[in-house]
Structure 1
Amino acid sequence: MNNETTTLISLKEAMKRVDHKLQALETQFKELDFTKDNLMQKFEHHSKALASQAAQDEMWTAVRALKLTSMELNILYSYVIEVLICLHTRVLEKLPDLVRGLPTVASVLRRKVKNKRIRVVWESTLQECGLQEGDITALCTFFIAHGNKAEHYTAKVRQMYIRDVTFLITNMVKNQALQDSLLRAVQVIEKGKAVRTPEKQKSSLKELIPSVKN
């Protein structure tokens, strides 16, 4: 074996070692990328969880801070409970075989997390009513906070007590998210569906719900 052959073999072996090192580095970089992506996903999930918790805390504070008379509270409660009953009823109509397993709205909310069929029906029902999950969070928070002391008023009784519930909501409810959700609840009951308006048109939202005339 001459020197040129020996040199060529040594060069090939060196190239193989370099190639192996490059492959090892590539594997390490892929592992680092995977770790980075995994950490980013965890961070985003944690950030969303914190934001969600902050929003829930803010909503709870807003609901508890409402300064309403017993009559005003009962009127708003009546719309809230009627919307929740309406949603529950519509879900059961679409899932007749699950009626016994979904006795309340709470059971629907709890089971939809892991049951895709229930989740799809719930989401379609919200869409039909012009509502979103944020509205349900607000309405359920209101119900939990005031349900133990509020009384349900029928539509006829509500009309006797107040002419314009929209005026009541826009003037007494300062939290924008809670205000919007309550206005949409009124729309669902009065008109059959909530109409989501652009931000700049919110000031005229009460025009969508006719006042009760004397």
Structure 2
Amino acid sequence: MLPAAVPSPAEFSGGFLQPLSEDSVALDNIQIDLLEFAAAAELQQLSSSSSSSSSSNRPTQPGHRRQQLPAVAAAAACLLIFVAFTAAAAAEKQNKQLLRGPLASLLLPNALQQQLLQQFNPQQQQQQQQQQQQRHRKEKQHRRERQQHNHQEELQQQQQQQQQLQQQQGKEEDEEEQERMLLLLQQQQQLLLQQQLEGSSNEGASQAAYTPEDEAAADIEE
């Protein structure tokens, strides 16, 4: 009699072993009869319970238990190896889609899945290589763009510094020219003052030297 925990074939047909999407391939080629395995386990439990009940009146033999442990471990190892090989064979036959399905996630770890995919699916390996090459190209382009941007910023800073220096020099030259113009204006004003002073002094001297006799002589000449 099967235990209550073992599901029926109908449950397996619509349970977690069903592909997740329409694109995933059905797991038809894997013929692992879980019901038979459960029945064998049940028979082993019944035989062990019957042997234990029959040997309850006899003293326990530790050597017999020690002999059973390696046999159980070997059977479990064989079962795992069988499951792994059947999964790999099914993946190779069914276009490597099984390794992406739910059974692979239950039986195989991620590292083993990737290793099998790389081994049995060269297309995916090529895609990964192409993706890596594209990433390297993008990184190189990004680095070049950064270098160009930094170079442009440095050039702009240098141009700004040169413009500032030119502006400062222009301001200094303008200030010097303004000072020169002021000096010239001051000199011209001084010259005008001197000329005015000289002209006024000459007029005063001429007026002082002009007499009535000179006026009479001027009238006669007229």
TM-score by length of 2: 0.30
Which structure's CA Rg is the greater one? 2
TM-score by length of 1: 0.32
Work out which structure has the larger RCO, using CA pairs closer than 8 Å and 6 or more positions apart in sequence. 1
